[in-house]
Amino acid sequence: MSITGPKPKPTALKILEGNPGKRPLNLNEPKPLRIAPKCPDWLLDEAKKEWKRFTPELERLGLLTRIDRVAFIGYCQNYAIYIETEKYLKENGRVMKTKSGAIKTRPEVYIANNALKFVRSFASEFGLTPSSRGRIYLPDLNIEDELDSFY
């Protein structure tokens, strides 16, 4: 059995976006605790920095929970691979000369491009791309404060 169409968005992300499609929300969707997973100590150093940079905000928004660990590892680790590879390419150039004298693209270019594709894919899952972030709607938190004054 194959499923067609775009993959469904998490209900938390739909709510933050204001449910623009006005489709019914999946109220039976699993609701894991809004506790971010711990950063694995084996991640690359740049991946650990990225983990620490985004975890608090994603946890606060309910977009990162313990069960999202593998996906977030994928995002952070591929980000680190991309950064490290781009640093290498900056020092060594994007092309190289082969033993026969031909000019060819370094394999690291493909590694960087592939890592960046994974980063973009994982980033959109967590609302970290400009287009996915632009669709997120945060309710005005002052409204609740004003309503509290009536009680």
Question: Given the structure tokens 């033993």, which residue do they identify?
Answer: 99
Model pLDDT, residue 150: 41
From CA 32, how far away is CA 36, in angstroms rounded? 10
Model pLDDT, residue 84: 98
> Does a structural domain hold residue 143?
no
Whether pLDDT at 7 is above 70 = no
* Domain hosting residue 85, numbered range: 11-137
Number of residues in the chain:
151
> Does a structural domain hold residue 4?
no
Q: How many CB atoms lie within 10 A of CB 119?
A: 23
> Does a structural domain hold residue 3?
no
Model pLDDT, residue 129: 80
> Does a structural domain hold residue 44?
yes
Report pLDDT digits (tens) over 18-76. Answer: 877 788 877 777 778 889 999 999 999 999 999 999 999 999 888 899 999 999 999 99
> Does a structural domain hold residue 49?
yes
Nearest to 40 by CA among 62, 82, 73: 73
Whether pLDDT at 99 is above 60 = yes
Model pLDDT, residue 20: 77
Confidence tier at 5 by pLDDT (50, 70, 90): low
Whether pLDDT at 96 is above 90 = yes
Whether pLDDT at 16 is above 90 = no
**What are the backbone angles phi and psi of residue 19, rounded to the nearest 5°?**
45, 60
> Does a structural domain hold residue 145?
no
Report pLDDT digits (tens) over 101-151. Answer: 999 999 999 999 999 999 999 998 888 887 777 666 555 545 444 444 444
> Does a structural domain hold residue 150?
no
From CA 121, how far away is CA 14, in angstroms rounded? 18
Number of domains, the chain: 1
Whether pLDDT at 13 is above 60 = yes
> Does a structural domain hold residue 5?
no
With H, G, I as helix, E, B as strand and everything else as coil, classify residue 61. coil
Percent residues over pLDDT 90 in the chain: 54
Q: What share of the chain is helix, strand, coil (3-state, %, to 5)?
A: 55, 5, 40
From CA 34, how far away is CA 38, in angstroms rounded? 13
Which residues partner with 103 through β-bridges?
Answer: 97
